[in-house]
Amino acid sequence: MRRYAHSLPENHDESQWEPLEVHLRAVAARARDFAAAFGMDAWGEAAGLLHDIGKVTDAYQNYIRGKGKSPDHSTAGAKEAERRFGPIGRCLAFAIAGHHAGLADGTQLSERLTKALESYDDWEAYTGAVPKPAAFPSQKNPHPNFTPAFFVRMVFSCLVDADFLETEAFYAQAAEKAVVRGGFSDIATLRAKLAAFMTEKASAPRTLLNRLRNDILVHAVSHAEQPPGLFTMTVPTGGGKTLASLSFALEHAARHGMERVIYVAPYTSIIEQTAQVFASALGEGDVLEHHSGFDWDKIEGKDGETDADGLKKLRHAAENWDAPVVVTTAVQFFESLFAARPGACRKLHNIARSVIVLDEAQTLPLPVLRPCLAALEELTLNYGASVVLCTATQPAWRRIDEALPPNAARQPQGFAIGPERELASDPAALFAALKRVQVEVEPAPVEDAAIASRFTAQPQMLCIVNTRAHATELFGLIAHMPGARHLTTLMCAAHRRQVLAEIRDDLKNERPVRLVATSLIEAGVDVDFAEVWRAETGLDSVAQAAGRCNREGRRNSGRVVVFAPAARKLPRAFAAFRDAARLPLQMPEPLGLEAVRRYFQELYFNRGYEALDALEIDQLRGVLPTIGRTQLDIPFAAIAEAFHLIDDKMRSVIVDWQGGAKAALDALCHAPVPPRGTLRTLQQFAVPVPEAMWRALRASGGIQPVKLETYGERFMLVVSRGLYSEVRGLQVEDATARTAEENVL
């Protein structure tokens, strides 16, 4: 009986099916090419050749001919990998055994490798010689057990992406359909495009601000010849760091033969804004925007068929980041690096030999800080990547900052980044030149009535508070004033975007804008107020709030006031950040480089070494197979389950705001599974609420499930008209506080 990897269910002519040896060797060749990006081509080839040898069995061949159930075809290759290559083969075994179900914990893999399987003895006739993967990444990471775990994920990524692409190609060819992938511009072409774009921008009026932005750009690009590795880019808000960092990244990538630029930001609002800027400079066809709120189907429908292939290739590129410029969220990036599912891991091998720009680096949540830093370091040490920590408030992750707490052995922590790897020419001088605000700290708690009185005197003012409940109450005191607006996460994203567009237009045209908001306004939102008040919080959030004040330097100086709200207890989530900011806020330059460094020193010291690592990466089981005495035994599934960039204790309800969600809701009601694009559309009309509030809304009948019999309570729609306001969003009692790091999306 001829052995096949894939059949065609509606075509019984077996000559049209894919022979097993063709599939194994095609996957091996593609996985080898992927792994060659980090010097491990033999690993990719071996994984590809072994991954489906279980399909040799009669049970599997009967199954694809419509007889019997689908048997386990992944364990055979995993067993052979460990049998042939010993401890080092166990790395392959993890990847091969999990290429459909995902990476398992070491104990689960051990159980699978002892199970009895149907004979697959003649498998070598289909693979040919399997190369022995002798090399292994050098153990340079300060966290000794981190390198093996990361390496297995990278090999896994090469295998699952190669397997998917080859399977896709076979079925597409059988159906006589084209798969639109690739065809992007190369890095050198994009570098030239951006250079031309920046030259045109340089012709803008030669104001002091524009001259400084150009100086920042020129200096950053001049450092592109430095060897790949870790960099910092410390530029004040308004200094043009977005395009300067992209210019450096493309020049650096071109000089060192690197594959792509990955721009990582904490908030969807920053991602959308940044992707738009990049697309205007480089062209939309080469910039992949990847986050939960981006709806490819909606975009395709908007433009008809005029650019269908270009849009389709970007949608496909979102699966594995096969695009020269990727703009994505911190959640998407870091959770993929610790994932176990094949779909989430497909993109990992394409992160190798990339320039990664980490925007607003300080927003990484503290409980997962050490794992995130270990991953960034691993990418630079063993995968040819460069990482740029790009922010106005550098979080003192360098060893020379002496901010991160030492480990139990009193060893210093942090990146070995020297001052020569700073991409801004003179950060201290830049901060002095770009200083546009004066920071004041109110000595006594401030009543809401006093803030409302200040709103009366100042027609363009922003007040940022720590809870949605406080924002709602304060807005109630100013709602009658001209230009009064309210912005919180109790509004759905589509509603917030419209309000922000109106705010920007009013600010530009000198109309009154009196805005009360939560910290979401600090998330890279491009607005420019004469005066900003900020409820007490961390210094990095104060700096972000200050970035919304006198942003373009049109005034001599803006006013930023930090205050403690009277008669309101500071939410517990904010206490550590507030406490760490007290001393720096009393310094002569509270937003200067030294104040920021002191702030992070205090913040990290107060938390302690262990509190910065919810994963306990120092305790990960597993040793380097080439030098270890025990088998590699890493709990991949448990790590993936434990690692969350945000501790999401919220549940979403859907608001059909202005009818924008109607089509997606109708699609849900008429489909057994959510149609493509539906979930992304509904993200724009979702409002996150605490679990207790969600239950109260359900009990009152204010929310009801969409197609309960199919989806259960997965999609809950706000049905009570009075629950959602065009001014305040969802009308519920809520004292929920959100810190800046909890707003990461």
| One-letter identity of residue 410 | R
Q: How far is residue 271's CA from residue 332's CA, in Å, rounded to a whole number?
A: 12
- Quick one: pLDDT band at residue 450, thresholds 50, 70, 90? very high
- Quick one: pLDDT band at residue 144, thresholds 50, 70, 90? low
- Quick one: pLDDT band at residue 291, thresholds 50, 70, 90? low
DSSP-assigned letter for residue 127:
H
Q: How far is residue 199's CA from residue 434's CA, in Å, rounded to a whole number?
A: 22
Q: Cβ of 452: how many Cβ atoms within 10 Å?
A: 18
pLDDT of the residue at 631: 59
Sign of CA dihedral 298, 304, 308, 311: negative
CA dihedral 678, 680, 684, 687 (to 10 degrees): 90
Q: Return the higher-pLDDT residue of 231 and 433.
A: 231
Cβ atoms of 348 and 307 within 8 Å: the answer is: no
pLDDT of the residue at 740: 45
Mean pLDDT over 497-506 rounds to: 93
Mean pLDDT over 639-668 rounds to: 87
Kindly report, residue by residue over 357-401, the tens digit of the pLDDT: 999 888 899 999 999 999 999 999 999 999 999 998 899 999 999
Select from 646, 744, 649, 739 the least CA-distant residue to 367: 646
- Quick one: pLDDT band at residue 288, thresholds 50, 70, 90? confident
Select from 236, 192, 164, 255 the least CA-distant residue to 432: 236
* Helix, strand, coil abundance in the chain, percent, nearest 5: 50, 15, 40
Which residues have CB under 8 Å from 351's CB, separation 6+?
Answer: 262, 321, 337, 379, 383, 385
Q: How far is residue 279's CA from residue 184's CA, in Å, rounded to a whole number?
A: 13
Cβ atoms of 398 and 373 within 8 Å: the answer is: no
Half-sphere exposure of 591 (CA within 13 A, CB side): 28
DSSP-assigned letter for residue 363:
G
What is residue 644's three-state secondary structure?
Answer: coil
Kindly report, residue by residue over 673-683, the tens digit of the pLDDT: 887 678 778 88
Helix (H) or strand (E) holding 76: helix 75-97
DSSP-assigned letter for residue 529:
B
pLDDT of the residue at 733: 63
549 φ/ψ angles, rounded to the nearest 5 degrees: -115, 125
Sign of CA dihedral 620, 625, 630, 635: positive
Q: How far is residue 389's CA from residue 607's CA, in Å, rounded to a whole number?
A: 22
Using only the alpha carbons of the chain, give its radius of gyration.
27
Mean pLDDT over 443-459 rounds to: 97
Averaged pLDDT score across all residues of the chain: 87
Mean pLDDT over 128-136 rounds to: 89
Q: Cβ of 719: how many Cβ atoms within 10 Å?
A: 12
- Quick one: pLDDT band at residue 87, thresholds 50, 70, 90? confident
Mean pLDDT over 95-107 rounds to: 94
- Quick one: pLDDT band at residue 315, thresholds 50, 70, 90? low
Q: What is the 3-state secondary structure (H, E, C) of 267-319?
A: CHHHHHHHHHHHHHHHCHHHEEEECCCCCHHHHHHHHCCCCHHHHHHHHHHHH
pLDDT of the residue at 648: 57
Residue 332: burial class (beta carbons within 10 Å; 0-12, 13-18, 19+): buried
**Lowest mean pLDDT: which of 250-254, 433-437, 597-601?**
433-437
Cβ atoms of 321 and 349 within 8 Å: the answer is: no
Kindly report, residue by residue over 11-44, the tens digit of the pLDDT: 778 889 999 999 999 999 999 999 999 999 999 9
pLDDT at 269 over 70: no
Mean pLDDT over 67-85 rounds to: 93
Kindly report, residue by residue over 468-488, the tens digit of the pLDDT: 889 999 999 999 999 999 998
pLDDT of the residue at 307: 41
- Quick one: pLDDT band at residue 613, thresholds 50, 70, 90? confident
Cβ atoms of 351 and 262 within 8 Å: the answer is: yes
Residues linked to residue 563 through DSSP beta bridges, in sequence order:
535
Select from 155, 144, 150 the least CA-distant residue to 628: 144
Q: How far is residue 378's CA from residue 418's CA, in Å, rounded to a whole number?
A: 18
pLDDT of the residue at 159: 97
Mean pLDDT over 618-639 rounds to: 62
Which residue is associated with the tokens 């104001």?
Answer: 207
Mean pLDDT over 145-171 rounds to: 92
Per-residue exposure over 58-71, b if at least 16 CB sit within 10 Å of its own CB, e if not: ebbbebbeeeeeeb
pLDDT of the residue at 313: 44
Show the domains of the chain with their CATH numbers: 4-174 (1.10.3210), 187-427 (3.40.50.300), 431-591 (3.40.50.300), 650-743 (no CATH)
pLDDT of the residue at 386: 98
Mean pLDDT over 352-357 rounds to: 98
Q: Cβ of 410: how many Cβ atoms within 10 Å?
A: 6
pLDDT of the residue at 292: 54
- Quick one: pLDDT band at residue 737, thresholds 50, 70, 90? very low
pLDDT of the residue at 533: 98
Kindly report, residue by residue over 167-197, the tens digit of the pLDDT: 988 988 888 887 767 788 999 999 999 999 9
Mean pLDDT over 632-653 rounds to: 82
Select from 602, 578, 555 the least CA-distant residue to 438: 555
Q: In this structure, are strands 287-290 and 325-329 parallel, antiparallel, or unpaired?
A: parallel
Q: How far is residue 36's CA from residue 38's CA, in Å, rounded to a whole number?
A: 5
pTM score: 0.87
Which residues have CB under 8 Å from 239's CB, separation 6+?
Answer: 212, 213, 216, 392, 424, 430, 434
Alpha helix positions (H), 479-571: 493-508, 539-546
Mean pLDDT over 143-169 rounds to: 90
Sign of CA dihedral 173, 176, 178, 179: negative
Measured in whole angstroms, the distance separating CA 455 from the mean position of its chain's CA atoms is: 37
Mean pLDDT over 421-432 rounds to: 91
Q: Cβ of 280: how many Cβ atoms within 10 Å?
A: 11
- Quick one: pLDDT band at residue 629, thresholds 50, 70, 90? very low
pLDDT of the residue at 691: 85
Helix (H) or strand (E) holding 606: helix 593-607
**Lowest mean pLDDT: which of 122-131, 186-195, 300-309, 702-711?**
300-309
